[in-house]
Amino acid sequence: MNVRTTGPISMGVIIGNRDFFPDKLVGECRSDLLDAFGKVGIKPIMLDEAATKLGGVETFQEAQKCAELFRRHADEIMGILVVLPNFGDEKGVAETLKLAHLDVPVLIQAYPDDLNRMDVARRRDAWCGKISVCNNLYQFGIKYSLTTKHVVHPSDPSFAADLKNFMGICRVVKGLRNVRIGAIGARPGAFNTVRYSEKILQRNGISVVTVDLSHILGVANKLTAADQPVKDRLDAIRAYTPTGRTPDDKLVQIAKLDVVLNDFMLEHALDATAIQCWTSLQQNYGCNVCTSMSIMSENMLPSACEVDVTGTLSMYAMQLASGSPSALVDWNNNYAADDDKCVLFHCGNWAKSFLPDIEISTAPILGTTVGEENTYGALAGRTPASALTYGRISTDDSKGIMKAYIGEGRLTDDALNTFGNRAVAQIDNLQGLMQYVCRNGFEHHVVMNASKTADVLKEAMENYMGWEVHQH
């Protein structure tokens, strides 16, 4: 699997201090942090050592200085790390966060004491101080996250893992609060399952830009094989995937549609799309849009079919958490008599990362009603064994809330003799998961990602977004 990494992110840092503890612990802490940040790719934004006593925050005046620094960098700070090399000043931390007004995720770390160095010169008491800081943030209504261990040294491997997870949480929260999704075409009449509430999404910072499919197809039909943008997209498609037995005229059709979709995304600054397919595209244009959707998803601009807006939102969230592409799939078939395995399937729009044997093909099931010759553009390919995070975000209109379920399992190499985009998933207590999905009115579409990021997604969506989240 082609699992990618993400670049460095900027993090505000508050080093707590308390005057009756040794100040040198604050100075040592700065060096420890810089080492830890360098290993995971964090750009720290923190007070200079000369701005306050060793760059720590204790008094209200120091809190003001730190908050002002954070506000100057508000556009780039994606999260804040609170570090307690000693007990720290609970009010100083809380006041800094209150005055900064950044509304970003907060991670609280506290140093452990050395059992052999509990004298006045080295005693920290950060175990206790962390509880006091959390109590104050709770009183202030400020959301925060915790390290895996209650106290942990910055050089501990678990802290590096905590930082990486926190970076994922920050990406998910920032992304979900600002995402723009294109809804291209009307929901297919036969798919009530992909209904959603634009108003609930907008309340959560998620904007939906709509366009009629006829507009997209109308512009595509005005293009010709001689147009340079079409030639360019045709070259890009051939470089992306083998074209199999797809006729040249169908490849041109696919390329023309690809040009228009890309232009629409650029015009409206879209992060993701959900496109009408079944069956208007085949009947009114003569091909599938799967190849274009796959290219977009591979390029971290997720695209879902059947105008499944909350499906592509789920793809985007998982992509933010992991730094790798997601795919929209159907919970589709049992796998023989194995209660903990099932078949994941779709006509053929998964990102290339999931399809080492990718090839442009047709959609045989859809072809039975619209003619297989009108379904070129669907991709064929089998997903090999890998890690698996799965899940689904939905609007629950009757309750007026955002809700989600998430979990982890694995994709396997078990034999699977069928067509389309396909995979076999193994999930503990799969039968219980299906009971939950069915009893709570979730869609038949789910999203898969080649990662282990369920904890990141739960913390981001439940703690910071305020959504109702079930972790299987």
- pLDDT-above-90 percentage for the chain: 91
**Average pLDDT score over the chain:** 95
- pLDDT band, residue 2 (cuts 50/70/90): low
- pLDDT band, residue 4 (cuts 50/70/90): low
- Picking from 350, 375, 345, the residue whose alpha carbon sits closest to that of residue 363 is 375
Q: Where do runs of H (alpha helix) occur along 410-451?
A: 430-439
Decide if pLDDT at 12 tops 70. yes
C-alpha distances in angstroms, 82 versus 9, 28, 45, 76, 117? 16, 15, 12, 17, 24
- Cβ burial of 337 (10 Å; 0-12, 13-18, 19+) is exposed
What would the two tokens of residue 218 be?
Answer: 């109308």
Residue range 457-471: average pLDDT? 98
Look at the block and give the residue holding tokens 């699997």: 1
* 395-416: pLDDT as tens digits: 999 999 999 999 999 999 999 9
Decide if pLDDT at 120 tops 80. no
Spell out the residues 6+ positions from residue 226 whose beta carbon is closer than 8 angstroms to its own: none
Residue range 198-223: average pLDDT? 98
Q: CA 196: distance to chain centroid?
A: 19
| pLDDT for res 336 | 97
Decide if pLDDT at 1 tops 90. no
Look at the block and give the residue holding tokens 């994941």: 344
Residue range 319-344: average pLDDT? 98
* 369-383: pLDDT as tens digits: 999 999 999 999 999
- pLDDT band, residue 53 (cuts 50/70/90): confident
Decide if pLDDT at 116 tops 90. no
| pLDDT for res 26 | 84
- pLDDT band, residue 5 (cuts 50/70/90): low
Higher pLDDT: 206 or 189? It is 206
- Cβ burial of 14 (10 Å; 0-12, 13-18, 19+) is buried
Residue range 200-229: average pLDDT? 98
DSSP reduced 3-state for 93: helix
As a 3-state breakdown, the chain gives helix, strand, coil percent values, each rounded to 5, of: 40, 25, 35
| pLDDT for res 20 | 67
- pLDDT band, residue 19 (cuts 50/70/90): confident
